[in-house]
Structure 1
Amino acid sequence: MAANSARVAVAQMTSVNDLSVNFATCSRLVKEAAAAGAKLLCFPESFSYMGANLGDSVKIGERLDGPIMQGYCSLARESQIWLSLGGFQEKGSDDSHLCNTHVIVDDTGKIRSKYRKIHLFDVDVPGGMVYKESSFTEAGNEVVAVDSPCGRLGLTVCYDLRFPEVYECLRFQHAAQVLLVPSAFTKITGQAHWEILLRARAIETQCYVIAAAQAGKHNEKRESYGDSVIIDPWGTIVGRLPDKHSTGIAVADIDFSYIDSVRMKMPVDKQRKPIDFWKSSPL
């Protein structure tokens, strides 16, 4: 493979309320991605645990130096692969709160970066359930990007996808080349908006987008949409699992020269107006 590209993999899985079962699934997918030559494997939100009842996640919340995360660091080290671990239940500032944390682990098992989800999912889904993530989750307040062998990664989590300013900030202020969107989208919102939002973010920012998704029924109360995808800077889907309910990985190559080509031909970074322009512009 050419030096100006890097192979990545995106996972799809159905997490349950059993840490060991989810770890076994992730372990298998890590080995599969490493065997396929991927330098980075991206897991979905709540990869390590999906509670059956509201508040279950808080009970298992743990620090990043605790045994749960350290087990995943060991997976990365053993298979010599970078991992995007999106939506880890990091212990919060008290016993009744956690942080929804996206952790990047390198191929030596070292935590390179962490991003705490900024936009919490407080929504009454039309025709679905009422969710109030803020009742047990503390919001983050920092935009995070980190360098990797697969380019400069912009970190987000799930509901952040509906707020394009996060992705604009990652691209135009933090020089992101690849945007990561680990998610557990509801079936209703996923059917309506998942693909179109992801492709829009890729087109707007001229970045690759890697969106790892939870899939199918986790329990009697919770079902996720699925459809893990990798999208190029032109908005084309270049990696996708064959169906929206399977557990597995899809693989694609990040082509750095293609990122440069798209950005050179359509130089939106040079043509954007500063925020102050819109504030002062007459209505």
Structure 2
Amino acid sequence: MSSFTAACIQLTSGTEPAENLKVTTELVEEAALSGADFISTPEVTNMMEPHKAAAREKAQFEEDDITLKALKELAAKHEKWIHAGSLVIKKPDEDRLANRAFVINPKGEVTAKYDKIHMFDVELDNGETHKESSAYAPGEVAVTTDFPWGRCGLSICYDIRFSHLFQELARNGGAEFFVTPAAFTYTTGSAHWHILQRARAIENGCFVIAAAQCGRHSEKRQTYGHSIIVDPWGEILADGGEEIGITMATLDMEQVAKRRQQVPNLKNIRDFTLTHSGA
């Protein structure tokens, strides 16, 4: 199979997993019935709870998480690949939570997992502050996984700003497309979202599938939306705007080899040493 249809589910997740699941299920069902082969949901699909104690109380262990269970059932029901962009998952070994992605095959089985490596610890000019590392334990392992159409490199949100991660996924991991689910703030999203997604696609000759959170989640949190699918030449195939919904496009995987032949930068990488000179 040299092509497939991908769908990004765009959500405005709130603080209650059960309520979020109703919307997620409806949109995943719609995407499956609309012909999507691969369905991706955004970061923190199951809940966006800003208070650490409340998030810890509401989070479930992986084996009990209601959203993961439902997505596994939907994958099996419709015989589709589903990528849970990330779920807030309780860890058995520490107080901090995991921001964890799951890949589910058409039999409803989890075939890959990835814990977000880079933590968003920042103070924005508008007074918005995020200290992700206080609530979430960072991952330590980069992950690629195989699909019928090619190999995929997994990432989550803030990872998109670390180009060396994607180069490693493509160059040594063999990735031909990336998933970059996110909950970008409106401030950083409006400035950098499209540029970053296109840059990672161009640099690595890969498709990028980016399912996003959108809209206002609370008085202090608004996300940018614009779920997008980008081709290996950096062209945007589909953009979901700023509303809840589904963004779909067909990916011709033969484009990966074509574009990498035109610009073989992954093959042209050279080792070098760094020096400094001057007064």
Same fold (TM over 0.5): yes
Matched letter for residue 88 of structure 1? L
Equivalent residues of 1:6, 1:149 under 8 A apart? no
Q: Secondary structure at the match of 2:218?
A: coil
Equivalent residues of 1:40, 1:150 under 8 A apart? no
Q: Distance in 1 between matches of 2:62 and 2:142?
A: 19
Aligned pair count?
A: 275
Q: Distance in 2 between matches of 1:19 and 1:83?
A: 18
* 1:60-79 alignment, distance < 5 Å: 60-68=58-66, 69-79=68-78
Matched with 2:247 is 250
Q: Distance in 2 between matches of 1:55 and 1:196?
A: 35
Matched with 1:180 is 179
Matched with 2:231 is 232
Give 4+ residue runs of structure 1 displaced > 4 Å after superposition.
none
Cα deviation per residue 1:46-72 (whole Å; 9 max; x = unaligned)? Answer: 111111534322222222221422122
Q: Secondary structure at the match of 1:213?
A: coil
Equivalent residues of 2:212, 2:227 under 8 A apart? yes
Q: Secondary structure at the match of 2:169?
A: helix
Matched letter for residue 186 of structure 2? K
Matched with 1:267 is 264
Q: Distance in 2 between matches of 1:122 and 1:55?
A: 18
Question: Alpha-carbon deviation of 1:33?
Answer: 1.2
Q: Distance in 2 between matches of 1:233 and 1:56?
A: 41
Matched with 1:57 is 55
Q: Distance in 1 between matches of 2:60 and 2:232?
A: 36
Deviates more, 1:78-87 or 1:177-186: 78-87
Matched letter for residue 32 of structure 2? A
Question: Alpha-carbon deviation of 1:15?
Answer: 0.5
Cα deviation per residue 1:19-42 (whole Å; 9 max; x = unaligned)? Answer: 122111111111111122111111
Q: Which runs of 5+ in 1 are unaligned?
A: none
Q: Distance in 2 between matches of 1:52 and 1:256?
A: 39
Matched letter for residue 270 of structure 1? K
Q: Distance in 1 between matches of 2:265 and 2:69?
A: 41
Equivalent residues of 1:184, 1:224 under 8 A apart? yes
Deviates more, 1:89-98 or 1:166-175: 89-98
Matched with 1:200 is 199
Give the aligned CA root-mean-square deviation in angstroms: 1.4
Q: Distance in 1 between matches of 2:53 and 2:116?
A: 17
Q: Which runs of 5+ in 2 are unaligned?
A: none
Question: Alpha-carbon deviation of 1:80?
Answer: 1.5
Paired-residue identity, %: 36
* 2:150 is equivalent to residue 151 of structure 1: yes
Equivalent residues of 1:231, 1:238 under 8 A apart? yes
Matched letter for residue 247 of structure 1? I
Matched with 2:6 is 8
Matched with 1:26 is 24
* 1:205-216 alignment, distance < 5 Å: 205-216=204-215
